[in-house]
Structure 1
């Protein structure tokens, strides 16, 4: 397989005209040569924080506080998850997986509620088991919770927050299993940030209320952060200090709860870019390679030897035609309608609507 057009090559997304040659799921060559194509080729997105089980309850809970919405064990989402059948959850998640693929997401880091059974429901949704959708190619990194045996089924552990439980034992277990440990911190206030950082997590999520002492600790420990600014705005907890975080550590973008926001990385990029007034290339890194680095994955950038997870946009669409700064246009205005092709693991995925 090869893709032709303007290639956003390397971690700085240098625009070069040419073709990307793919074999056995890998980028084997990038040829810089004139081509007759208006397509724009970039890495697929890595959504660094999701809760897609919430697909059963989109836009539920208007007017509720953060704790009323999502706090374990009796926040609205947890009650709705408990009341839904396995098949209902699988079918709802399958729809979200299809939407994420069609909007250019190739990988997502999922905090999966429900223990081993919750992880199994996501695996069933990916496989198309019991639902009217084909197997999905999108590739999750699954962080389980709510069950002492979940590490056997998941890729890591996703803790709700240091105030919710004592996570020392499970943190030790993730180290012994050589798996990832992520934890929410600083979403509601700053009180749980230091206890979360004391666990030496592989990454933190949110950090809305990060204070100077926490920023210094991020620098010292080089702890990555996944930020979800649209979700934080919806739950009325504030917005993360994205520029300060970017100055201190690796920062990736996530869309958080499907209950609250569409899992579109286009929307998350646009919001983050305009909120923090960051350079477009930095925001695109937050949506691609930075999330891949958090999860230890060989993707998120177009370079030889990287996984062939590629998003092709129509550079001559009514929305993108005439862009003076292509990367800025992608970050601030591109959307689902501009998607031409999605390639995950070297295999072409037909976007929704084709």
Structure 2
């Protein structure tokens, strides 16, 4: 492959390097500082740290509904729509969402897949030719681990999930769980399960943050979805001060899974730097799922997004990191390399 040239946001620090990325056999061989006339901006490809791709069959169906009415199991609008969709419709809808994600720079996502074993199999089928590799947190009983990469629990107020947690431990698979979305009552019970990932933590308080820090439990936040469902605002600055925080887009029925939109929202809403937000959208999600991407560095998988730094939107930007996080859109994507 020809070297990829431009301003490269390299390493975990995402420091701009004028130069090129050398790729051989799908891996980054070197990041070299050198003169280049290219105006492109080269960034790590995104890892969306929390999605519900099954919702692709019900886009915008939940407008104006509360959290319980929209997505809470087992009788919300979302679950009724999932039950009514036939397999072909579901697979097609999820595949189309995955294709959109790929075009907008996302190469993997951490998906909470409903409907047990068959739900996980449907997502595997959808991802097979979509060029986005979903990391599947399955649901139902522990048998879903025969197909899924881990287990994704709805919340500690819904069930005990002790058997599923034990099965994950036995098989060496990650256990993830929603916590602190409508209120704080399920956070301590979720932490008692020793999770590998918490999702949302909108209502996290100091006592919860201390337990998160003690256990080094990573958190995925989804601020746009929280806004749509009117459940509150996650304390992103405080979460970052205590643990690894990754960025997700949550339910496809509520928002498109665009990491550009999610980054811009987070950067402008919270007391966080552009670099922190870009790490949340790339390296953090990759680290949580132990994926070999998220950072542009020698030895890593070549998973890159090349942006047109001379587009009508980005031309004249004085800080490439801030431009990527706060200004860039899907229209600025020249290509996705993965």
Q: Any unmatched runs of 5+ in structure 2? A: none
Per-residue CA deviation, residues 112-159 of structure 1 (Å, 9 max, x unaligned), is 0011111111111122xxxxxxx2211111110023310010000000
Quote the residue 1:239 is aligned against.
Answer: 233
- Secondary structure, in 3 states, of the residue corresponding to 1:248? coil
Give SS of 2:310's match. Answer: coil
- Structure 2 Cα separation of the partners of residues 188 and 219 of structure 1: 22
SS of the residue aligned with 1:330? helix
CA distance in 1, matches of 2:224, 2:198: 17
Q: Secondary structure at the match of 1:36?
A: coil
Instruction: Give how far 1:80 is off.
Output: 0.4
Q: Do residues 306 (structure 1) and 307 (structure 2) align?
A: no
The aligned residue for residue 323 of structure 1 is: 317
Residue 225 of structure 1 is aligned with which of 219, 225, 247? 219
Q: Residue 62 of structure 1 corresponds to which residue in structure 2?
A: 63
Tell me which residue corresponds to 1:337: 331
51-60 or 142-151: bigger deviation: 142-151
Give 1:293's aligned residue.
Answer: 287
Counterpart in 2 of 1:122? 123
Q: 1:263 matched to which residue of 2? A: 257
Paired residue for 1:351? Answer: none
The separation in 1 between residues aligned to 2:295 and 2:29, in whole angstroms, is 13
- The equivalent of 1:132 in structure 2 is none
**Would you say the 8 A contact 1:6–1:17 is kept in 2?**
yes
Deviations 1:248-282 (CA, angstroms, capped at 9, x unpaired): 10000000000001100000000011110311000
SS of the residue corresponding to residue 241 of structure 2 reads helix
> For the residues of structure 2 that align with 1:168 and 1:193, how far apart are their CA atoms?
15
State the match for 1:131 in structure 2.
none
Length-normalised TM-score, structure 2: 0.98
Task: Give me the whole-angstrom Cα distance separating, in 2, the residues matched to 1:8 and 1:194.
Answer: 38
Write the deviation string for residues 89-134 of structure 1: whole angstroms up to 9, x where unpaired. Answer: 011111101100000001100000011111111111122xxxxxxx
- 1:220 positional shift: 1.1
Q: Which residue of the other structure, out of 170, 179, 191, is the alignment partner of 1:185? A: 179
- Unpaired runs of 5+ residues, structure 1, are 128-134, 345-354
Runs of 4+ in 1 over 6 A off after TM superposition: none
8 Å Cα contact 1:114-1:147 kept in structure 2: no
CA distance in 1, matches of 2:162, 2:224: 30
Which runs of structure 2 are paired with 1:3-152 in the superposition (5 Å)?
3-127=4-128, 135-152=129-146
SS at match of 1:47: strand
Distance 2:165 2:293 in 1: 26
Distance 2:63 2:229 in 1: 10
Change (3 A) 1:220 1:148: closer
Residue 199 (str. 1) matches residue 193 (str. 2): yes
- Give the match's secondary structure for 1:118: helix
TM-score (norm 1): 0.94
State how far apart, in whole Å, the 1-side matches of 2:217 and 2:92 are.
35
